[in-house]
Homo-oligomer: A and B are copies of this chain.
């Protein structure tokens, strides 16, 4: 008899599980995927670039269409929301979002891939028009349309995380006067404060006054009739605006999981073991709705990322199919950019490493990313963080107009392999003048931190 696999959620991890199961020929299963949305398998990460105008059609963000799965024998159910999981009965309740009709669906194996949603901060009049969040393709279409209206001159972004910065780039490059407001002392507060400050300064420098950034202040109310016209901050600033993006963080969609007795962890994300199994038999979870194991801190963390969702989806599928796979965990490697200025990190920052009790030592180095005499050479700044006792590399942050991301991935690979600074500084990196310096900036940073460890 076919194993009945039910997947709830259809953006990244869900379709990945489905695709992987369909390739697992030795596993005889019937797959049903339910999503409350009207499409599946799209690149939410691509939305800022669609809004910016780099991508002409939203269709391009779609990775796979329902028909592609249907052709292979899986079933995709759009506009169908899972409202309840009944673990003892191995059933889920699915409600049609248009007719409200509820059906019972039996499963042998259930995968929860419900993702995350934007947090809506407690701001008055959030219901006003032209206030947006960035999650679904339709959000992208609506934001782009509004931004391109002739009367749209000004925008406010609430929250300076990755999405906030990406939206800032999109608006700036479209000639919109944009004001970003961040509650924290720093934008991109997952970086160390002095690195965040460098990023902020660079964004402001590059934007020639077309962009404003306010930190340590919060929006408390929107004003306008029907449409948002202005907003008021806690410090009493009044800012006129034609549109608003709320990018104040995300929260996992785990209410139905919790209600079913599934254990949650950090930030209410679903706790899974390294086989993507929840605490309840036959129920798996993957993607943005799940907690992660951090390979450096050896603690749980919630770091929802598309790259991780894909890895977890693969792992879940293999285990659902009765085979064995273990996903070791994450470093939280991430990257974004602001108009050619790359912002990337992996592992722990100095701030985080101290929290976890490491004997932290760090080095920061600014250097050209390729031979200084090459016209394409640009600065990058690398901050390495290590543990003085074990000499292990704990993390790295790299920013700059040059090739920063390449260095982050190189050091991520070393951190994942548990390398010490002594081992890492001998790394045989490629060298040619158009690509790097004879002593790569990353190795210079490693030499610097090594000197500090031994001094």
Taking A308-B428, A310-B439 as contacts, is the C-beta distance between A409 and B412 under 8 angstroms? no
A413 interface residue per 8 A CB criterion: yes
**Chain B contacts for A61, CB-based, 8 A:** 373
Indicate which residue in B306, B342, B429 contacts A409 across the interface (CB closer than 8 Å): B429
Indicate which residue in B45, B375, B409 contacts A433 across the interface (CB closer than 8 Å): B45
Complex Cα spacing A172 to B54, Å: 32
Q: Cβ of B406 and Cβ of A428 under 8 Å apart?
A: no
Copies in the complex: 2
A427 interface residue per 8 A CB criterion: yes
Complex Cα spacing A174 to B60, Å: 39
**Chain B contacts for A394, CB-based, 8 A:** none
Q: Cβ of B405 and Cβ of A346 under 8 Å apart?
A: no
| 9-residue interface stretch from A27-35, A123-131, A327-335 | A327-335
Complex Cα spacing A209 to B65, Å: 42
Closest to A433 in B: B46
**Chain B contacts for A427, CB-based, 8 A:** 412-413, 416
Complex Cα spacing A253 to B362, Å: 41
**Chain B contacts for A308, CB-based, 8 A:** 428
Q: Cβ of A306 and Cβ of B434 under 8 Å apart?
A: no
Q: Cβ of A426 and Cβ of B327 under 8 Å apart?
A: yes
Complex Cα spacing A337 to B431, Å: 11
Q: Cβ of B307 and Cβ of A49 under 8 Å apart?
A: no
Q: Cβ of A335 and Cβ of B432 under 8 Å apart?
A: yes
Q: Cβ of A373 and Cβ of B429 under 8 Å apart?
A: no
A399 interface residue per 8 A CB criterion: no
Which A residues from 335 to 391 make CB contacts under 8 A with B? Answer: 335-337, 342, 344, 346, 371-375
CB distance from A422 to the nearest CB of B (A): 9
Complex Cα spacing A419 to B418, Å: 10
A288 interface residue per 8 A CB criterion: no
Closest to A429 in B: B409
Mask of A411-450 contacts with B, CB within 8 angstroms, 1/0: 1111011110001101111111111101110000001000
| 11 contacting pairs across A/B (C-beta < 8 A) | A45-B438, A54-B375, A55-B373, A55-B375, A307-B436, A332-B428, A333-B429, A334-B431, A336-B432, A403-B406, A414-B416
A-B residue pairs, 4 tightest by C-beta:
A417-B417, A413-B413, A307-B431, A335-B430
Contacts A46-B433, A416-B423 aside, 13 further interface pairs with beta carbons under 8 A come to A43-B373, A45-B433, A46-B371, A307-B429, A311-B439, A327-B426, A328-B423, A334-B432, A342-B435, A405-B435, A413-B424, A414-B416, A414-B417
